[in-house]
Amino acid sequence: MSGLRARQKADRHRRIIEAAAELFRDAGYEGAKIETIAAQAEVSVGTIYNYYQNKGDILGAIVSMEVNEVLNAGRGVVANPPANVGDALDTLLGIYIEHSLHYLSKEMWRQAMAISTQLPDSPFGQAYSALDRALIEQIRALIARLQALGLARRDIDGPALGELIFNNMNMMFIEFVKREEARIAELRAAIRRQNRILVAAIAA
């Protein structure tokens, strides 16, 4: 049960995702009709629904790939962080933010975020929550690393701090994707300014 059939399955998954990603970008999420995605992926509408529960899950698959890339990129920073708390945070969060619009338009992010809060129990909703948790864990890992290196105070509540930093960044990012004219540089500057308060409190 894992020869040709599995390969074709993977292939159809890929074709659907690629077609959808292109159409979401060009026509927007709402503008991309399932029928069009099916045609471009050379499968039938029914097949798409055989692979994904609903339109949102297709977007979800695309978003997941993106976030996983970001998580990967972040590993390097955690392993080898810059030698002070402020730069370390800025570098890690910078990676998250700079990568964010590589494959996904702001509109796609808006839709993805909306769906994940609208249907937290759908496959995508759960996956999205898991990704958020993974990002929080990575920030926490960075903090732990900085503490271990003697760059951050040891008596700070690391887990709480990690979540706090993530939550703030995430909310700033949400506002960022809501305003089409917002610029990445300004987003990063605003977050840096906020984190400065924390950095002052925790730098060893």
Chain residues binding DNA by CB under 7 A are: 1-6, 8-9, 12, 30, 32-35, 42-47, 49-51, 53-56
Q: Which is nearer to DNA, 57 or 66 (CB)?
A: 57
Q: Which is nearer to DNA, 47 or 168 (CB)?
A: 47
Which DSSP string do the residues of 86-112 spell out, in sequence order? HHHHHHHHHHHHHHHTTT--HHHHHHH
Angstrom distance (rounded) from CA 37 to CA 123: 20
203 forms bridges with which residues in the sheet?
A: 152
Angstrom distance (rounded) from CA 68 to CA 139: 15
Nearest alpha-carbon partner for 80 in 95, 101, 69: 95
CB of 84 to a copy of itself, least distance (A): 17
Angstrom distance (rounded) from CA 67 to CA 89: 18
Angle between helical axes of 184-202 and 158-178 (0-180°, round to 10): 160
**Sole binder of a copy of itself in the list 12, 39, 129, 144 (CB under 8 A):** 129
Q: Which is nearer to DNA, 3 or 150 (CB)?
A: 3
Angstrom distance (rounded) from CA 148 to CA 80: 12
CB of 3 to DNA, least distance (A): 4
CB of 202 to a copy of itself, least distance (A): 8
Nearest alpha-carbon partner for 19 in 49, 54, 48: 48
CB of 152 to a copy of itself, least distance (A): 12
**Sole binder of a copy of itself in the list 27, 79, 114, 148 (CB under 8 A):** 114
Q: Binding of a copy of itself at residue 97 (CB under 8 A)?
A: no
Task: Find tokens 């055989």 and name the residue.
Answer: 50
Letters for 37-76 (x = contact with a copy of itself by CB under 8 A, - = none) are: ----------------------------------------
- Note the residues at the interface with a copy of itself (CB under 8 A): 110-111, 113-115, 117-118, 120, 125, 129, 156-157, 160-161, 163-164, 167-168, 170-172, 174-175, 177-179, 190, 193-194, 196-198, 200-202
